[in-house]
Every structure is written in C-alpha cells, then in structure tokens.
Structure 1
Amino acid sequence: MTDATNGTTDMRSVRFRKEREAGWTRLEALVMKVERSGMTSLNFAEARDLASFYRQTVNSLSVAREISLDRALLAYLENLAARAYLVIYAPQARLTSVVARLFTQGIPQAVRRSGGVLLIGFGLMFMGALLGYFLYQQDSSWFYTFVPGELAATRTPAASPAMLERTLYGQDDTLMNSLASFASTLFSHNTQVAILVFSLGVFCTAPSFLLTFYNGTMLGAFFALFADKGLGYDAFAWLSIHGVTEISAICIACAGGVQLGLAVLMPGQMTRKDALRIRGRDATKLLILAAVMLLAAAILEGFFRQLVQSAELRLLIGWGIGGLWVAWLALAGRTPAEHSG
C-alpha cells in the first residue's frame, strides 16, 4: 500500500513538473541574469516575464504543498521563489549608490536631526576653552596641567615671543620637521579623542562630556600662551586652517556619543535596546562625518598650514572650508517637509 502511494506521488510530481517546468526554467534564467548584472540588465519583455513567471512559480509552490508532492520538488520551488522575491523586491542598490546616498542625504539629515546634542558638543568645547584661557591668564603654570608635554614641545610659557613666532611662520628644515612631527602628534591625539568621546558616550554621556571639555581647556591654554606673547591673532590664524574642521569633528563625535548616552538614560516609551538601535543610526552617521572631517583636517594640517604663510589666507582657507561644511550639512538632502518649514 505504501509503495503504491509513493508511486502515485512520484507520477503526480513528474506530471506536475512536466506541465510547468518551462516556466520555472525561464524564471531561473532571468533570476540568474539579475543576480549577475542587476535589474537594469533586463529589457522590457524580460522584466514582464520575470514578474509573470514569479507569480506562476508561487502558485505552483502553493499547489505543490496542497497535494503533498515530493520534498525535492518542494525544496526547488521554495528556493526559486525566494531568489525571485529577492531580485524583485529587495533593494538593488550598488555600493557606490549607497555611499552617495549616505553623503547626499543620510549624514546631512542626521546632523539636522541632532541639533540639540551638537549644541552640547560645541558648547562643552567652547566652555572648556574659556576656562583654559582664563586660568592661564591667572597663572601660567596651568598650561602644564592642561597641555601634554609631547604636544607642547618647545611651546611653553618660558619660550620667548620670537621663538613662538618662528613656530608659526618658520621655514627652516629643522623647524619644518619639528612642525610635521607636532602636526602628526596633534592629529593622532585628536583622532583618539574623537573615538573616545563617541564610544564612551554610551556610559551615561559623562565620559564624553569630560573628554570634550578637557580638550577645550587644552585648546584655550594653548591659545592663551600665544596671546600672552602678543601673538594671539597669528596663533588663531595658524589654528584656524585645520582647527575649524578638526575641532568641529571632535564636537560632532561627542554629539554622537551623547546620542548613545541619552538612549540609555532617557529611552522614553521604548526599551533601552530599541532606543539604542534607533538613536544609534544617527550616532553612527555623526561618527562617519567626524572621521571624514578628521581626514580632511589631516590634509590641511599636513600641507596647507605650513605652505601658507599669510595669516589672512590661513583664516580664509580655514573658515571658508568651515563654511562649505555648514552649507553641505544644512542644505543637502532636504525633504519636502524641511523645505516647506
């Protein structure tokens, strides 16, 4: 009895396959073509056939399940239907289009949604800089508290104005090598700070706050050193050419960390897991932006800052590039709702 039943099932499977196999074969060929070359490789007739044979295959699969055909045929149809579904309905974006969409829409929109945490990041840096500046004015020994020795090098309160001016405009090879080493050290330091202020933000935001604030005090003390020697304008221009981009990157990384911290501290009606997942999307985009800005700052720091010897031109380049960052982030990828607003 069992053998007879199996024989009947096999015959039904053979007949069922024979009646419909041409359509499955055609669908499989179209799916393979899309998997290999993308949906744009199909002409109109092929795209129409893809949709038509996909529907037929899904119907065949439904019927095959109802009449209990052999498992091998069911597995084949399930696999074919799943592959066809993916090529028809899944996003067909290439890596280049995904990256382009990230920079033309994703990152600018994430920045505009993160106004509050960005204000916190920039505010902490600014307040730290003010504290570092005024404490140095009260007592220059605070410089050694805020500025690490490897960053300060010969730039200390004991240095003469002439020596400090040479570090801003010097052209001799020894000094240029020293400046290149300083630039490399400063970039490495700021990159580490950016990574830390982002990654530590999940721990209730406090570490991100402290690191950003401390980096501000270091900046303020460093500027106060030059201002105290009558070189404030020159130092401001020297820092601007790369600092507008680099310091902004640290503040943006801090904002990303704060996003994560707020998801832990104030998840609202969501679970902390869901809040981290949702806020983490914008936080990750802010980190990518900070990384891109640090890379741009490295180029400015490694080349333009020492090649450009005019304070005015340094200011123009630094703040001009800062204006381009603002224009991109403020205007790119605006939605209809943003335009109407």
Structure 2
Amino acid sequence: MSVVAGRNDAAIAAAALRSDRFRIEREADWKRLEDILDRMERGRISRLADEDLLELPVLYRTVASSLSVARETSLDAATLAYLETLVQRAWFLVYGPRTSLLGWLRRFFGGEWSRSVRAIWPEILVALILMVAGTAVGWLLCAADPQWYYSLVPGQFLDVRQPGASREVLLGTLFGNQDQPQLSVMAAYLFNNNAGVAITCFALGFAFGVPPILLLIQNTTPLGAMLWLYNGQGLTLDLIGWISIHGTTELFAILLAGASGLHIGRSMAFPGDLSVLDAAAKAGQRASVVMAGVLIMMAIAGLLEGFARQLIDNTPARLAVGYGILAFWVVYFFLFRRVPPASEAI
C-alpha cells in the first residue's frame, strides 16, 4: 500500500514539476499578451506602441499553441483555465467584431440596405404584380357578388363600412376622427399585425417561394374589396388618400418582405452552380438585411396609421404626405448608390 502511495506522490510531483517548467518557459509571452489586452480593454489603444500592436496576433497564436499543448499533456486545471481565458480575450480583440452600434447603423442606412433591395429587384417586380393582381381579384369578386366583401375584409372594418352604406356614412369613416382615443394602442396593434404578415412572407420563402405568392395575393384582396365599396359612392380618391399616409410605407414594406421570401425560394429552386443549402444561405443573408429594414418601415407605418391619418383630415394633404413618403423610399432604394468598400459588399 505504501508503495502505491509513494508512486502516486511521485507522479503528482512529476506533474507539478512539468507544469512549473512549462509555465516558466512560456510565461513571459503570456504576461506580455495579458498586459496588452488589459490596456486595450481599458480603452488605451492609442497609448500602445506600434510594436505591441504588431506583436498582438503573434502573441495570440503563441498562447493558443500553449493552450493546445497544455490540453494534450493534461497540465493542472489552474493553468488550463488561465490560458483559456487569455485566448478568448485575445481572440475577441484580434478577430472579433469591431463595429459599434453607431457604425453598424451608419453602414446599414448608408448603403447596405438600399443595395440589398436593388439586388432583389426581379422578385420585387414579381411581388408587385402579385399585389396588384390580389387587389384586382378582391374588386372583381365583390363586383360579381357583394357577399364576397364579408369574406375578404377583416372584421374590424365591418362596422358601417358594408355594401349598401350611404355616401355620408362612408365619408364619416374617412374624416372627422381627429379626437379618436387610444391612437397609440391602435398604432401598436397595427405594427404587430403588419410586421407579422411581413415576417411570415419572408420566413415561408424557404418553401420554394410558394407561400409568399399566396400571402401577397391574400393580403391585398381586402384592399380591392374596400376600393370597390368606396368607388360605388364616388369616394375612390378619398379612400386612396386615407390609405396613402401609412399605406405607401406599409404596402412597400410588405412588398419587400414578399420579395425577400421569393428571392430565397428562387435561389433554392434554381441554385445554379451552388448547392441548395449554399444558395439558400447566400440569398438569406441578403434578404435578412432587407427584412431588418422592413421592420423599421413597419414601425413607421404603424405610427403614421395610428396618428397622422387621423390628424391630417383632408385628401390633398393626405395624398401629398403619403406619396411624398413613397417618393422618398423610391429615391433611397433605387437612386441612392453609395459605392461600398469591398469588405461591405454583399
């Protein structure tokens, strides 16, 4: 028994000696790297000497190599924990993201978003055709049988806005609502609803683009039904003005979301020289940039629908605001063409 204990003590002593020797031979590099990292993490990069900055990646690789050796030779847990922490800190500073939130916003709004939108222009054209077709289908179905109106229009619009309503009643739904209460609650509801439609169009694009096609048609048939209803009383332009304040942004956002889903679906159906997964990943990266902007547009549309539409109470002003915003989006997406650095290209 004593022989076994003696052998164990000898093994422990040998391991401790090996660990000490390993640390002594390499500790100078570890401490130098740790000192550089401490100064960088405290925001003192400007005070670092040029040789320190140049040596940082070399020291990182040296310490990473030490960690690899330490793991293979089963050195003591304290040394392993110290090296793992040091390597993680160094990796973040050498290879980790350096862009601040402000920098990301500057890059996103400064060309990345608009460039991604232009890259999916064929799908945008197809999505636009589908939305126009959905609107036409809603109109034609109601013109053929007014009972279709009740199936196509959401329940919250089935108050007095129904087939057979007089011109005065329909006018009352478009004007004179400046004092409508709980506008902020309505804005939040509209944002959640519209953002859900947009995200669904995008998310289901992986089913080879078929669900976005159906969703784009389905979500524009109510617009056609309402246009049919108000047209019967000669209020088409007034309804367009009522919708345009928020609708030019909201419908544009749904258009982009549907186009993003179609873009992913097309890339999977026709991957070209890439595998299906690689094609989907590449298309998804571009479409995700578009979708980040879509959520911003939906938030803007929700605010416009919950506030501006009621506060601006005449058709010419509504048309001016709505189509002025639409002109801004068109100019931003298709005429704003800042050339990106090579590292930012999508």
Which range, TM-score by smaller chain? 0.7 to 0.9
Distance 2:137 2:240 in 1: 17
Which residue does 1:214 correspond to in 2?
Answer: 218
C-alpha contact (below 8 Å) 1:255/1:286 kept by paired residues:
no
Match of 1:94 among 85, 100, 122: 100
Which residue does 2:209 correspond to in 1?
Answer: 205
Which residue does 1:146 correspond to in 2?
Answer: 152
Q: List aligned pairs for 1:95-244, cutoff 5 A.
A: 95-171=101-177, 176-177=180-181, 188-244=192-248
Identify if the C-alpha distance between structure 1 residues 169 and 71 changes in structure 2 by more than 3 Å, giving closer, same or farther. same
User: Structure 1-normalised TM-score?
Assistant: 0.81
C-alpha contact (below 8 Å) 1:12/1:69 kept by paired residues:
no
Q: List aligned pairs for 1:12-51, cutoff 5 A.
A: 21-34=27-40, 36-37=41-42, 41-51=44-54
Distance 2:183 2:96 in 1: 52
Identify if the C-alpha distance between structure 1 residues 179 and 33 changes in structure 2 by more than 3 Å, giving closer, same or farther. closer
C-alpha contact (below 8 Å) 2:242/2:318 kept by paired residues:
yes
Of 204-213 and 101-110, deviating more is 101-110
Distance 2:286 2:163 in 1: 42
C-alpha contact (below 8 Å) 1:197/1:257 kept by paired residues:
yes
Mapped pair 1:270 → 2:274:
yes
Q: How many Å apart are 1:166 and its aligned residue?
A: 1.0
Distance 1:9 1:70 in 2: 9
Cα deviations by residue, 1:29-85 (Å, 9 ceiling, x for unpaired) = 221332x345xx3125445324336535745876996xx998459845676456434
Distance 1:305 1:77 in 2: 61
Distance 2:341 2:64 in 1: 43
The letter for the 1-side match of 2:119 is R
Cα deviations by residue, 1:123-180 (Å, 9 ceiling, x for unpaired) = 111111122223434443332232133333211112100000111112485xx35998
Distance 2:289 2:234 in 1: 41
C-alpha contact (below 8 Å) 2:199/2:257 kept by paired residues:
yes
Q: How many Å apart are 1:191 and its aligned residue?
A: 3.2
Q: Which has the higher helix share?
A: 1
Cα deviations by residue, 1:226-275 (Å, 9 ceiling, x for unpaired) = 11101111111111111001111111111121123223322233222222
Which residue does 2:308 correspond to in 1?
Answer: 304
Mapped pair 1:334 → 2:333:
no
Distance 1:132 1:243 in 2: 17
Identify if the C-alpha distance between structure 1 residues 182 and 83 changes in structure 2 by more than 3 Å, giving closer, same or farther. closer
User: Structure 2-normalised TM-score?
Assistant: 0.80
Structure 2: where are the runs of 5+ without partners? 1-6
Distance 1:19 1:185 in 2: 65
C-alpha contact (below 8 Å) 2:209/2:262 kept by paired residues:
yes
Aligned positions, number: 330
Distance 2:259 2:63 in 1: 54
C-alpha contact (below 8 Å) 1:27/1:54 kept by paired residues:
no
Match of 2:253 among 249, 253, 257: 249
Identify if the C-alpha distance between structure 1 residues 96 and 46 changes in structure 2 by more than 3 Å, giving closer, same or farther. same
Mapped pair 1:323 → 2:332:
no
Distance 1:247 1:318 in 2: 11
Distance 1:209 1:61 in 2: 51
Q: How many Å apart are 1:194 and its aligned residue?
A: 1.8
Structure 1: where are the runs of 5+ without partners? none
Distance 2:286 2:57 in 1: 37
The letter for the 2-side match of 1:166 is G
Of 144-153 and 48-57, deviating more is 48-57
Of 316-325 and 10-19, deviating more is 10-19
Identify if the C-alpha distance between structure 1 residues 54 and 308 changes in structure 2 by more than 3 Å, giving closer, same or farther. closer
Alignment RMSD:
3.6
Which residue does 2:4 correspond to in 1?
Answer: none
C-alpha contact (below 8 Å) 1:23/1:53 kept by paired residues:
no
Residue 155 of structure 1: SS of its match in structure 2?
coil
Identify if the C-alpha distance between structure 1 residues 48 and 307 changes in structure 2 by more than 3 Å, giving closer, same or farther. same
Q: List aligned pairs for 1:72-91, cutoff 5 A.
A: 75=80, 80=86, 83-91=89-97
Residue 278 of structure 2: SS of its match in structure 1?
helix
Distance 1:181 1:87 in 2: 44
